[in-house]
Amino acid sequence: MNILYDRRKTEDRIEYEFHYMPLVSALFFVCVGGSLTSCCKRAPRTCAGLLILWIIGMVPAWAELEKAMRAGPVAVSGSKFSCKNPLKVVISKKGNDGD
């Protein structure tokens, strides 16, 4: 289970929903902004550490999405900057050998 996204699997499709993308973007914006001022000297290290953790957490989804995009239809909806309409990726299993 991954807290960065929800993965739902049915017989004919796999759905990914990325709920926390706006929060991650805002967090990195604050960390980078804090690193530009002299008031916070730990911000660059914190930002780098959080970025590495975020990338590690997203690797399984990115790998499956990349494989699916090569194999067949993938539908993307929503926005990575919206909490009300989060980014949603649907992988159709028709024509794919998805698990």
Residue 4: DSSP 8-state? S
Q: At what angle do helices 21-36 and 43-71 cross, to 10 degrees?
A: 150
Q: Average model confidence (pLDDT) for the chain?
A: 82
The pTM score is: 0.72
**Distance, CA of 86 to CA of 39 (rounded, Å):** 33
* Region 66-87 average pLDDT: 88
Q: How many domains does the chain have?
A: 1
Question: Looking at the domain assignment, is residue 98 inside a domain?
Answer: no
Question: Looking at the domain assignment, is residue 81 inside a domain?
Answer: yes
Q: Mind listing the pLDDT tens digit for each residue in 19-63? A: 888 888 787 777 777 767 666 666 677 777 888 888 888 899 889
Tell me the pLDDT band of 9, cut-offs 50, 70 and 90: very high
Choose the weakest-confidence range: 6-15, 23-32, 39-48, 81-90.
39-48
Question: Looking at the domain assignment, is residue 16 inside a domain?
Answer: yes
* CA distance readout (Å), 20 to 11, 12, 71: 26, 26, 27
Question: Looking at the domain assignment, is residue 1 inside a domain?
Answer: no
Question: Looking at the domain assignment, is residue 97 inside a domain?
Answer: no
Question: Looking at the domain assignment, is residue 40 inside a domain?
Answer: yes
* Structural domain for 66, as ranges: 6-92
The closest alpha carbon to 75, from 53, 90, 97, 87, belongs to 90
